[in-house]
Amino acid sequence: MNSEMEPSRLKIPAPADFNFTECLAILGRSDQELLHTIKDGRITKLLVLENEVALFDLSYSEGALHIEFPHQSPSQQGKQAVVRYVTDWFDLETDLQPFYAMAARDPLLREVVEHHAGLRIMGMPDLFEAFVWAITGQQINLTFAYTLKRRLIEQFGTSHLVGGIEYWAFPSADTIASLQVEQLKKLQFSGRKAEYIIGIARELAEGRLAKDELLEKTEQQAEKQLVAIRGVGPWSAHYVMMKCLRFNSAFPVSDVGLHNALKQQLGLEQKPAIAEIEKLAEPWAGWQAYATFYLWRVLL
């Protein structure tokens, strides 16, 4: 994805089928979100880079995403890192035309995809953040998951005060790797989840787990490595593969939100069984992640 750079402004051309408003609907789904703010169609986000922090505003007009640095312009290297982050965050490099062609033939997806056309899977470029969110969300409702995430960020994240507003970045794996289980239990994480999160942080901090290495693997190889990690089952593995590693065939088939969306779309009295979902999803081959994400969208 090419981008144009000025001293305090960057421009990233967006695909023709991109819908910023749809993406904002996903990003704005919780008033407990700390990692970005949305006001008047503009996102403000703090990124902690290798040797600096970058606070940036993100808006959309005339077929492009516009990045501005309202406080302090980062180095050239920092600007490039922000462009890479935004490109990944909004999944701008995926050609969705094959997905749209498939969805147009699928009676279950057709209306959903038409209604929310231009939506992209809003990802989590940071592998540790994706793991923590997957583990935090296991067997609890979304509201409490956001509460736990907020507590974790406020306790251990990085903050930057600008114009009287505090902006936050997700805690690093290095920071969480040094914690004891009791410190997370105080935030109301279960003992098991605290163990899993600290364990994964240590895997990353000590170099035994790395995003670059996972990206070089096939989907099957990546899944095998992920489910071998303590606390990571098939749902968590596929969530990370979908939101961070960008495997479009990742399929968190046991996801409660997916089940609720299917129940709603199909007018069922109860949620469909896994076998039924797998049958429904046969035409989605190669695009299960996008089909799932669009079905999640109907629940907002």
Residues classed as catalytic: 255
From CA 18, how far away is CA 29, in angstroms rounded? 19
From CA 284, how far away is CA 280, in angstroms rounded? 8
Mapping DSSP onto H, E and C, the string for 20-74 reads HHHHHHHHCCCCCCCCEEEECCEEEEEEECCCCEEEEEEEEECCEEEEECCCCCC
From CA 153, how far away is CA 45, in angstroms rounded? 14
- Distances in Å between the Cα of 53 and the Cα atoms of 50, 89, 134, 159, 169 are 8, 17, 26, 10, 9
- The Cβ of residue 267 has, within 10 Å, a number of other Cβ atoms equal to 6
Contacts of 169 (CB under 8 A, 6+ apart): 35, 46, 47, 48, 53, 153, 157, 158, 159, 160
From CA 3, how far away is CA 22, in angstroms rounded? 22
Strands 53-61 and 42-48: antiparallel
Give the tokens for residue 171.
């805690």
Residue with tokens 């470029």: 125
